[in-house]
Amino acid sequence: MSLAASEKSEPTVANASAGIGRRALLVATGAAALGVAAYPMLRRRRFAPTEVFVARQQRYDGPLVQTISDGLRSVGLREQDLRGRRVLLKPNLVEPIRTSPHMTTNPAVLLAAADVLRKWGAMVTVGEGPGHVRDTELVLAESAMGPALASAKLPFVDLNYDEVQAVPNAGRVSPLADICLPRAVLEADFVVSMPKLKTHHWVGMTAAMKNLYGVMPGCVYGWPKNVLHHAGIPQTVVDINASLPRTLAIVDAIDCMEGDGPIMGTAKPMGLIAVGQNVASLDATLARIMGLVPERVSYLALADGHIGPLGERQIQQRGEPWRPLVRPFEILDLPELQQLRASEDDVRTS
C-alpha cells in the first residue's frame, strides 16, 4: 500500500486528535494493569529460557564495540546469523533537546552497534519515527544523531513518512485489526530496538518494547501516535511487538532518565548496556534493576507468556547479575505508578 493510499484509508480506531488528558490516560493505563486477566485471547506459550546480558561500568567513550559484541554473543547470536541480513536500528529520538542528552539514545551506542553488525556482514540502516516532532531534520540535529550517521555513512529512514503497508495485527490485544508498518521495517530481517532506559509517566517505564512505538508512522497514527494511545497503550505495545519482523534489543542505560519521563525527567547515571533477543525478558530484567515489579507493568503483564517470559527463573542472566545493579528510579507520586515499586520482599522472592 502506498503512502498516498494510506493517507486515504482510516485506521481501525478513529484518530481522536482533539487530545486526551494525562489523568484520563493514567486512569486507563491503571485499569489495564489491573485488568490483564480480561484478555483471554492472549495465548500463553511455553518459552525456552531466554538470555539477557547486562554490562556495568560502561561509558560513551569506552569500548562499546566490544561490549555489544560480547552481549550479542552472550544471548545466542553469531556472525552467521547476521551475515547478508538487512538490519534496521531503531533509536529513541522522541523529542531531543541538546541540553537533555539523557532523553535520547546516545549516538556512540548506535555507532558501536552498527560497527559490530557491519563487521558481522549485516546491511545496516537506521530508522525512527519521532512521536512528538514532525521535523525529523531538527530531531537529527538536536540529538547529534545526524552528524554521527553522516560520519559513519549510515543511511537513515524517516519512518513517519516512509511508504507503508498494512499487515494483520498478530497480537490481537487492542481493537486494531491491522498494523500499518513502514516498508523499511517490513523489509528488515532484524529490527533492533535501541532505547534509552527511562521512566514513563503513563506506563511506568520505557525500554525495548515501548521504544518500538517509534516504528509506527505518524502519517497514519498521528502525533504523538494518538490512534495508538486511544486503542490502549499497553495493548498496542504488545500488538506492535507481536507484528514486527524478528526483533532484538541493545539498550542505552548508561545515562538514564527518572522522574517525569520519558521527556521531562532528570538524568540518572547507571553505566549499563543491556542486550537481549527477547524484548519482554530484557525489559523484565531492566524493570527489576529500576526497582519495579515487571508483572505490575501493564504492557509487560500482557506480554508475559505471549511475547516472552518475565519470571527470573526463565531468564538466564549473562554478564552481570541484576540484583547488585538495583538502584530504584524515582517515579511520579501517583498511585497508578507507585504500585509498580518493588518491596524488599519482592526482590528477595523474585
Q: Where are the domains of the chain?
A: 3-9+37-343
Burial group, residue 89, by CB count within 10 angstroms (0-12, 13-18, 19+): buried
Report the interhelical angle of 107-119 vs 145-152 (nearest 10°).
20
| pLDDT at residue 340 in the model | 98
User: pLDDT category, 121, cuts 50, 70, 90?
Assistant: very high
How far is Cα 114 from Cα 120, in angstroms, rounded to an integer? 10
Judge whether residue 28 has pLDDT over 60: no
Judge whether residue 19 has pLDDT over 50: no
155 and 125 Cβ atoms separated by less than 8 Å: yes
Burial group, residue 21, by CB count within 10 angstroms (0-12, 13-18, 19+): exposed
How far is Cα 299 from Cα 297, in angstroms, rounded to an integer? 6
| pLDDT at residue 333 in the model | 97
List pLDDT tens digits, range 154-202.
Answer: 999 999 999 999 999 999 999 999 999 999 999 999 999 999 999 999 9
> What does pLDDT average to over the chain?
89
Which DSSP category does 96 fall into? -
How far is Cα 317 from Cα 313, in angstroms, rounded to an integer? 10
Average pLDDT score over residue span 9-21 = 35
| pLDDT at residue 279 in the model | 98
Which DSSP category does 120 fall into? T
**Phi and psi dihedrals of 321, rounded to 5?**
-65, 150
User: pLDDT category, 350, cuts 50, 70, 90?
Assistant: low
Query: What's the gap between Cα 79 and its chain centre?
Result: 24
Reading the block at residue 129, the C-alpha cell is: 519515527
